[in-house]
Chain A
């Protein structure tokens, strides 16, 4: 599972749920209304669906990584947000192992929406259990 160029995923996620977005707003203590009110999103010119929190998108990817390397400790996770994720979007997590150095496993992972647009790109380093 951790040899170089080993593929990660693809893992298709359930559609983004606006109710879970509201719950995430509580978890993050983030009142940004782009996650709560479609009218605000529309007024900003981003369409008429609420926008998923970036950290939530990271969470999906982290869970896939930890499932790929069971028992591993995530040492580093660096993500760039390339596009918005909207309520109802269907996301796919995919990636590959890029480096193995003893117990350290480097990966690059990404998140794409149903239109195959990449919305998140991340590099991660996991420490495998000994």
Chain B
């Protein structure tokens, strides 16, 4: 069940956006991961997450604001799911749209109550074809709650 007071969140649309990953960022990600650069102008599968997260019109702080969670309290990723339907390329503009899926309250034995904020993003190529779909969850440890 959705956290009380946040019943409006399921289905809440995220501001759409667009982004182009320049070719130079392919090398930067490879350097960070200490891995190989993808051949040609292809993007690493992780770029599906990067494109979606940077391209959507909501920052991580904006997502936290939707959940009434201060960014300085340190949201943590709980899960990340990437579904790739096609290859992605540098220097190509991708549009991103999405929505909040839900926010559920859980109780941890060590750290007390926390909320799981799940949201979904779809990455569309210039022809409007969906090339990737992301479903991610943030863990929001609540400091001030009587729950």
Contact = CB atoms under 8 A, between A and B. Distances in A.
Interface of A: 13-14, 20, 23-24, 26-34, 40, 44, 46, 51, 53-56, 58-60, 62-63, 66, 73-81, 84
Which of A24, A31, A55, A80 counts the most B-chain CB atoms under 10 A from its CB?
A55
B74 A32 contact: yes
Interface in B16-74: 25, 28-29, 31-36, 44-46, 49-50, 53-54, 59-61, 71-74
Contacts of A13: 34
Contacts, number: 100
Interface residues on B, range: 20 to 34
B77 interface: yes
Nearest to A40: B74
Contacts of B75: 32
B54 A29 contact: yes
Given A44-B73, A62-B45, 20 more contacts: A27-B32, A28-B54, A30-B60, A31-B61, A32-B74, A46-B74, A51-B76, A53-B77, A54-B77, A55-B77, A55-B80, A58-B49, A59-B46, A60-B35, A63-B36, A74-B45, A75-B83, A78-B82, A81-B76, A81-B79
B78 interface: yes
Contact of A29 (B28, B53, B73, B84): B53
B81 interface: yes
B92 interface: no
